[in-house]
Amino acid sequence: MNKEDFNEGLLGFLDASPTPFHATRNMAMMFENAGFIKLDEVQKWELREGQRYYVTRNDSSIIAFTYPKGEKKYLMVGAHTDSPNLKLKPNPVIKEHGVVKFGVESYGGLLLNPWFDRDLSLAGRVSYLDAAGEIQSSLINVEKKIALIPSLAIHLDDKANKDRTVNKQTDICPILSTNEDFELDDFIKWQLDKIGVQNVQEIYAHELSFYDAQKASYVGLRDDFIASARLDNLLSCYVGMLSICSVDASKPMLFIASDHEEVGSESTSGAGGSFLENTLRRIFCDYEAYMQMIRSSLMISADNAHAIHPNYPSKHDKEHAPHINAGVVVKINANQRYATNSETTAKFLQAASTMGERVQKFVTRSDMGCGSTIGPITATRLGIDTIDVGLPTLAMHSIRELAGSDDAHGLYKILVGFEL
């Protein structure tokens, strides 16, 4: 796949995936179209060699894998479906001062200030009692620009450009109406009706998040950049999804996109949960075969990497400062915040060299803390050799992030051509 087609598909995937639920559904549809067979965790699996399969958990995490004949030494690619956002509280409606607004919680390490004065929409999963008296769940996406978090005018805050802080409880409630007759359950039923779910008896619960209504787009004089919400980490999800769809079924490969990475991964659908291990144990029922596979396979944990900021270069170690559109980044940390070691680095560099792709290296400044990924979590839980890589990104965890228009396609080429 050429870079132009790759990036056009990426823009569409980003726009169609405002929540982990939507991202997972879109990846499942992609796998269906590519001939993967859907599995259900509550049913018995009867795998056939030469086929490709996928399975989901919680509607927000997904695993796809090939099941070739012969030796199964897997190249695994891991990413995550979630991104920092503003999530509706269970009873969010606040009616005061002539407006209707929503109470929200910040999910993950959110960069709050960019959320002000943006057109916002709402999406997520809703659980309800249907017309037949059965509990059901559906995904909704309002799409329309329905809310905004207005800034306080500088006339009322003369320190706004100096030391402004944001109170998560009081300052970031999105405003959506002046109609004080608004009822959330009626609004949700209307959204369900729009997707063909009618005669809902009762709304039981919701997992709804606000998102930036601005579409993903190219930016730059030569379309140098891609700007979008949720690049961390839908960018890696898209790369992993396309990579496994592009390889032959005879190549052992597995892709997992987990939920809840931004809040620690400790859930049934997070990397700290049992989803991947459960799936692998069902693929390899014999324990000896399972352990041989684990110790001969490689996990590539793909998450975004901090590109050097041209306005804040001092925030990087100058010898380990990735540039946008200069290649995939290998992430290294002496304290195991990343799972990379010399041997997994060598394997990745060899694969990149074979495909003619550049690679950069990132190490956090020694006087700054270092974030982490699903890499160390997966390596610890499974005992699989792992490398952490990423795509150079600016404004990470903002409502709108910035990445290069070359780098994701480069990682795609490396993964498709990777040989263990």
pLDDT given at position 417: 97
- Interstrand relation of 225-228 and 175-177 (parallel, antiparallel or unpaired): unpaired
Question: pLDDT of 384-403, one tens digit each?
Answer: 999 999 999 999 999 999 99
Question: What's the pLDDT score for residue 163?
Answer: 81
Q: Are 266 and 374 in contact (CB under 8 A)?
A: no
Token representation of residue 279: 């799936």
Q: What is the pLDDT of residue 158?
A: 85
Residue 160 pLDDT level (bands cut at 50, 70, 90): confident
When pLDDT is cut at 50, 70 and 90, the band that residue 25 belongs to is very high
Element (H, E) at 211: strand 202-212
Residue among 365, 367, 371 at smallest CA distance from 396:
371
pLDDT tens profile 309-356: 999 999 999 999 999 999 999 999 999 999 999 999 999 999 999 999
Q: How are strands ordered across the β-sheet holding 175-177?
A: 135-141, 120-129, 202-212, 85-96, 99-107, 175-177
Q: How far is CA 51 from the centre of its chain?
A: 26
Which ranges in 16-163 belong to alpha helices (H)?
20-33
pLDDT tens digits for range 189-215 = 999 999 999 999 999 999 999 999 999
Q: What is the pLDDT of residue 71?
A: 79
**Amino acid occupying residue 147:** A
Is pLDDT of 14 > 90? Answer: yes
State both tokens at 4. Answer: 């132009």
Q: How far apart are CA 81 and CA 24, in angstroms?
A: 7
Strands of 305-306's sheet in order across: 217-219, 225-228, 401-404, 392-394, 305-306
Q: What is the mean pLDDT of the chain?
A: 97
Whether the predicted pLDDT of 106 surpasses 90: yes
Q: What is the mean pLDDT of residues 18-42?
A: 99
User: CA–CA separation, 164 vs 117, rounded Å?
Assistant: 16
Query: 38: which residues sit within 8 A by CB, 6+ positions away?
Result: 28, 31, 32, 53, 54, 55
Chain-centre distance for alpha carbon 196:
28
pLDDT at 214: 98
Spatial CB neighbours of 95, under 8 Å, sequence gap ≥ 6 = 180, 182
Residue-level pLDDT at 164: 82
The three-point CA angle 42-43-49 to 5° equals 125
Domains delineated in the chain? 3-83+229-417 (3.40.630.10), 85-212 (2.30.250.10)
Confidence band of 39 (pLDDT split at 50, 70, 90): very high
Q: Are 209 and 388 in contact (CB under 8 A)?
A: no
**Strand duo 85-96 + 99-107: pairing:** antiparallel
Token duo for residue 95: 């009616």
Rounded to 5 degrees, what are φ and ψ at 240? -65, -40
